[in-house]
């Protein structure tokens, strides 16, 4: 009888590095997780930083003074980039989770098609939208860069 029980993740984190037969969607998955982790670290720090406004203007300006450096500005832009990717790819993931863009089941007739290939144009579209958002935000970041 075929084993239908829980199967362990044999590759662990190494599975993030190679798409194998899963193609570009596996790399999108890896990037989704990496950007998610980066956003989480930033967000936890952001909670502490933004809470400093409750301690008054002096504390707020001191904290902002520490963060007003090129290194933090570049880091902030990288987080913005991560957010744009994570959000747009997340929309695609939610849509496919709910069954959108996957098509209906069909006979395996050559040339073969599958649900992953059928949703691939959506991946391209969301990446283009993410790129536009990154470019718009990038111009805004450059304008706000220290010394500008």
Partner 1 sequence: MRTRESTLWTWHLIAGVLILVLLGIHMFIMHLGDFFGTVEGDALAFSSVMERSRDAAFAVMYVLLLGAALYHGLYGLRTIIFELNIPEGAERVITVLFVLAGVALFLMGAYGTIAVYGARVGV
Residues that bind partner 1 (CB under 8 A): 8-9, 12-13, 33, 36-37, 39-40, 43-44, 47, 50-51, 53-57, 60-61, 64, 80, 83, 87, 90-91, 94, 97, 136-137, 139-141, 143
- Cβ atoms within 10 Å of 117's Cβ, excluding its own: 13
* Least distance CB 2 / partner 1 (angstroms): 21
Tell the smallest beta-carbon distance from residue 82 to partner 1 (Å): 12
Give residues with Cβ within 8 angstroms of 131, minimum separation 6.
none
CA angle 134, 140, 146 (to 5 degrees): 120
Nearer to partner 1, 15 or 116 (CB): 15
CB nearer partner 1, residue 24 or residue 43? 43
Closest to partner 1 by CB, 64 vs 114, is 64
For partner 1, the closer CB: 12 or 105: 12
Radius of gyration, alpha carbons of the chain:
21
CB 109 → partner 1: shortest distance, Å? 34
- Sequence-ordered list of residues with C-beta below 8 angstroms from that of 105, at least 6 positions apart, any chain: none
56 versus 114: smaller Cβ distance to partner 1: 56
Q: How far apart are CA 56 and CA 37, in angstroms?
A: 31
Shortest spacing between CB 39 and partner 1, in angstroms: 7
Q: Residue 68: CB partners within 8 Å, gap ≥ 6?
A: 146
């Amino acid at each position: 009888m075929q084993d239908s029980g829980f199967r362990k993740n044999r590759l662990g984190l190494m599975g993030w590095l190679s798409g194998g037969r899963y193609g570009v969607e596996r790399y999108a998955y890896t990037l989704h997780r990496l950007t998610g982790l980066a956003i989480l670290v930033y967000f936890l720090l952001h909670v502490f930083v933004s809470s400093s406004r409750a301690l008054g203007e002096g504390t707020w300006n001191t904290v902002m003074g520490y963060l007003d450096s090129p290194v933090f500005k570049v880091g902030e832009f990288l987080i913005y980039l991560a957010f744009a990717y994570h959000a747009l790819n997340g929309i695609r993931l939610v849509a496919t989770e709910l069954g959108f863009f996957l098509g209906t089941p069909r006979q395996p007739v050559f040339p073969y098609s599958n649900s992953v290939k059928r949703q691939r144009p959506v991946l391209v579209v969301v990446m283009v939208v993410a790129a536009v958002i990154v470019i718009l935000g990038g111009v805004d970041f450059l304008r706000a860069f220290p010394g500008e």
